[in-house]
Structure 1
Amino acid sequence: MTDTIPVAALGRRIMVLGLTNSGKSTLAVALAKRLCVPAIHLDQLRHRPNTNWQERSDAEFVALHAQVILAEEWVIDGSYSKVMPQRLARATGIILLTDNLATRYWRYFVRTLFQKQRAGGLEGGQDHLNWKMIHWLWHTRNSIGKYQEVAAKSGLPHLLVNNRQELDRLYAVWDLTRS
């Protein structure tokens, strides 16, 4: 992150994209609170509450996504490429988050083992360490480029935040509070 843009430049429908465990949900909550708009976590739309990340059907997820993006104001965290074009068509700004793989693994272990309730977690969540997520972190370790390309091609104002230090700076500049 070289220069921080004013939060107002991103408008009132902001997409928070990025790699798994990069801080998207926490930022979405802080930003939504600051802007007095709803925070929507795509993981909660994709997965059933009170489960260990059991997915809803594609049709149910697509319908829930279509419903929430119609709102006049929101901050939505999560990528989900399948429904991204619809969200992009309604968005007014994009924030991209990434961090190094070791930090993202650390966050995964901490949130799974010690955080029973967290931003973006499932209602009644039953998180358990699983190889699928460990593999997913490894498999997507270098995929921030595809989100950078999406942001650049969108023509929307956007900001790339590369690590925890830059994210901390963003929180300070925008006067955001972590929950």
Structure 2
Amino acid sequence: MKISNYNRIIIIGNNGSGKSFLSKEIAIITGLPLFHLDVLFWRPNWEKPSKEEWVKKQIELTSAEKWIIDGNHSDTMELRYQSADLIILLDINRLICMYSVFIRNTKKRSDMPSYLKERFNREYFHFLMGVWNYSKTRKLAIMDLHRKYPDKPLLVIDSRRKMNTLLKEWRTSAAIQ
């Protein structure tokens, strides 16, 4: 698979699966503009935009000719899924995802607005439960979308090793061109 053949890529998967890392690497390889949904969504104090405003933003993003969009945001995922010409699903083991979520809380994240800080409160506990239950909830919704749009190419990456192998192949392919 040549990643340079695709102009509209969504990268989805569990929190902590490596979506932001992979999306940044693909953006470097392809030169496609990258959009992190969390940066666009969250406002100070974890305030959310209105549903109408968020849908409008998704339509605006997906109407462009070229992009990489990193993030789930399940309520608007179908808009991105319809417009994408490649869907990359990171289906990484939930223990690895949980570990990554804990580790990233000690670092500055470029995929989150700088004015937000992780809080260890009730919402964070629910967030962790979502990470743990991903395969029983959000992954099922993603697979439903795949059944609804079977002609959309879906690349499932189920390990960090596989992700790194693909990145190495894509870098090599880009260097040759």
Q: Is the helix fraction higher in 1 or 2?
A: 2
TM-score (norm 2): 0.83
Change (3 A) 1:88 1:101: closer
Confirm whether residue 110 of structure 1 aligns to residue 106 of structure 2.
Answer: no
Q: Secondary structure at the match of 1:175?
A: helix
Contact 1:96 1:158 in 2 (8 A): yes
Task: Write the letter of the residue equivalent to 1:151.
Answer: H
Instruction: State the AA in 1 paired with 2:126.
Output: K
For these two proteins, the number of residue pairs brought into alignment is 167
Q: Aligned partners of 1:173 and 1:45: how far apart in 2?
A: 31
- Which of 52, 62, 65 does residue 72 from structure 1 map onto? 65
Structure 1: gaps (5+ residues): none
Instruction: Give the TM-score of the pair, scaled to structure 1.
Output: 0.82
- Name the counterpart of 1:23: 18
In structure 2, the partner of 1:123 is 114
Identity, in percent, stands at 27
TM-fit CA distance, 1:149? 4.4
Matched with 1:97 is 90
Deviations 1:10-66 (A, max 9, x none): x10011111121111111111112111111111222211x44x33222222112212
CA distance in 2, matches of 1:7, 1:60: 31
Which amino acid is 1:7 matched to?
I
Q: Distance in 1 between matches of 2:52 and 2:148?
A: 27
2:54 aligned with 1:61, yes or no? yes
Unaligned runs of 5+ residues in structure 2 are: 173-177
Q: CA RMSD in A?
A: 2.0
Give yes or no for the alignment of 1:36 onto 2:28: no
Among 8, 13, 24, which residue is 2:8 paired with?
A: 13
Supply the AA of the counterpart residue of 1:171: L
Work out the CA distance in 1 between the residues paired with 2:28 and 2:113.
19
Secondary structure at the aligned position of 1:156 is classed as coil
Note the 1:134-149 alignment, pairs <5 A: 134-143=128-137, 144-149=139-144
Distance 1:141 1:92 in 2: 24
